[in-house]
């Protein structure tokens, strides 16, 4: 298992939101309690999560996986090469409607976050500084934390988030320095560092 404390800055998420407010903060929260999440899913998450609050109230809660299975990404240009395709990284619960990294609508609710790498095709050139991302999947469709999905299958599940042909995505980015829970704003994106 790969532990986050072993130097893997894993949950740096770029959450695209329509209105950024002053007073953004990260506070600890308890264990996930969503009744839609399976017991198996609840057991593999850290017992303490992070609540992101914007100026107008709670935005989302995020729980990371307590131990991420060691894997390997051989995708050219991947940054998080110790993660295997479709590995479950954590769970996010949005308190209100938002948008994903591409600006697609995301309804309030609870979603799993699974690792993937943008395809190396002309449709994905220049969309992000790195190819790594997290696919957002409705928790009702993703109850087994150890499930492995083929790329196409994961993208179809994730497309249910926005009701489009494109998956719901959170961009992974790199940040220098030791990880510590905080929230930053870069342009129109909210960056969560854990």
SS3 78: coil
Residues 52 and 62: their CA atoms lie apart, in Å, by 8
Beta strand pairing status for 132-138 and 168-172? antiparallel
Residues 50 and 173: their CA atoms lie apart, in Å, by 18
What local confidence, expressed as pLDDT, does residue 186 receive? 67
What local confidence, expressed as pLDDT, does residue 103 receive? 82
What local confidence, expressed as pLDDT, does residue 71 receive? 76
What local confidence, expressed as pLDDT, does residue 7 receive? 28
What local confidence, expressed as pLDDT, does residue 130 receive? 72
What local confidence, expressed as pLDDT, does residue 3 receive? 38
Phi/psi at 39 (5° precision): -65, -40
End-to-end CA distance of the chain: 18
Q: List per-block mean pLDDT (blocks of 10 residues) for the chain, which spans 194 residues.
A: 35 52 81 96 94 86 87 72 87 91 89 85 54 91 96 94 88 68 66 66
175's torsion region: left (phi>0), alpha (psi -120 to 50) or beta? beta
Beta strand pairing status for 109-117 and 132-138? antiparallel
Residues 170 and 111: their CA atoms lie apart, in Å, by 11
Residues 146 and 178: their CA atoms lie apart, in Å, by 28
Residue 150's Cβ-count burial label (10 Å; 0-12, 13-18, 19+) is: exposed
Quote the tokens at residue 12. Answer: 């740096």
């Amino acid at each position: 298992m790969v532990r986050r404390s072993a130097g893997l800055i894993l949950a740096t998420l770029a959450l695209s939101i329509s209105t950024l407010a002053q007073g953004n903060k990260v506070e600890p929260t308890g264990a996930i309690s969503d009744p839609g999440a399976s017991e198996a899913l609840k057991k593999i998450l850290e017992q303490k999560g992070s609540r992101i609050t914007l100026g107008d109230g709670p935005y989302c809660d995020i729980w990371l996986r307590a131990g991420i299975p060691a894997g390997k990404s051989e995708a050219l240009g991947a940054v998080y090469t110790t993660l295997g395709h479709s590995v479950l990284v954590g769970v996010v619960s949005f308190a209100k409607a938002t948008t994903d990294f591409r600006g697609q609508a995301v309804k309030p609710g609870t979603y799993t976050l699974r690792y993937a790498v943008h395809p190396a095709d002309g449709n994905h050139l220049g969309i992000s500084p790195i190819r790594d991302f997290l696919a957002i999947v409705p928790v009702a469709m993703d109850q087994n934390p150890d499930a492995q999905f083929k790329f196409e299958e994961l993208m179809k599940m994730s497309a249910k988030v926005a009701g489009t042909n494109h998956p719901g995505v959170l961009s992974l980015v790199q940040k220098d320095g030791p990880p510590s829970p905080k929230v930053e704003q870069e342009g129109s994106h909210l960056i969560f560092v854990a």
